[in-house]
Amino acid sequence: MSNLLERCLSFALQAHEGQVDKAGLPYILHPIHVMMAIKKAYNDHNEELLCVALLHDVMEDSPATVNDLKSIQGMTQRVIESLVLLTRKKGQSYKDYIQELIDSKNWYALMVKRYDLLHNADLTRLYNTKANPYSHPSSEDVKRYEKYIRALKQINAELGIKEYSNV
């Protein structure tokens, strides 16, 4: 693991400390999963792309700011720009957020959002867990899933990907 990637992982661990996902698991497992899925799918070690994956939820789900991210030694402008695009603005509709990502043509942001959506749309990870022993998704989960699939189709089209997953 490179020094920048290690620093990004350390930052993400601190930013998401104490947070849990809907299944009751440490939240940091989600960005790590997104990073590993990208690495596996492309057998690539693009340090900047992997850093974007690790940090993609930091500004939305923690008090961290752009300036905090810029303070990471070795941080690049490409990573910062991608993370800003991946952070939904307050009051911005989800539809407008996805369209802004697509219009940006920022490959890093689009790839990370694609794998973020793939992981978030996997409802099987939310059930039959200690935190949620129920075996069926709620109607709210189904609506969220459908929203993610619509966004995934749009992003896949922009990236020229015809299938939903290569994870």
Helix (H, G, I), strand (E, B) or coil at 20: strand
**Has residue 130 been placed in a domain?**
yes
What is the pTM for the complete model shown?
A: 0.91
Contact criterion met (CB below 8 Å) for 121 and 148: yes
Mean pLDDT split into 10-residue runs, the chain, 167 residues: 90 97 90 96 88 97 96 97 97 97 97 96 75 72 92 95 62
CATH number of the domain to which 34 belongs: 1.10.3210.10
Q: Which domain holds residue 78?
A: 3-159
Residue 124 lies in a domain: yes
pLDDT of residue 43: 77
Question: Is 165 a member of any domain?
Answer: no
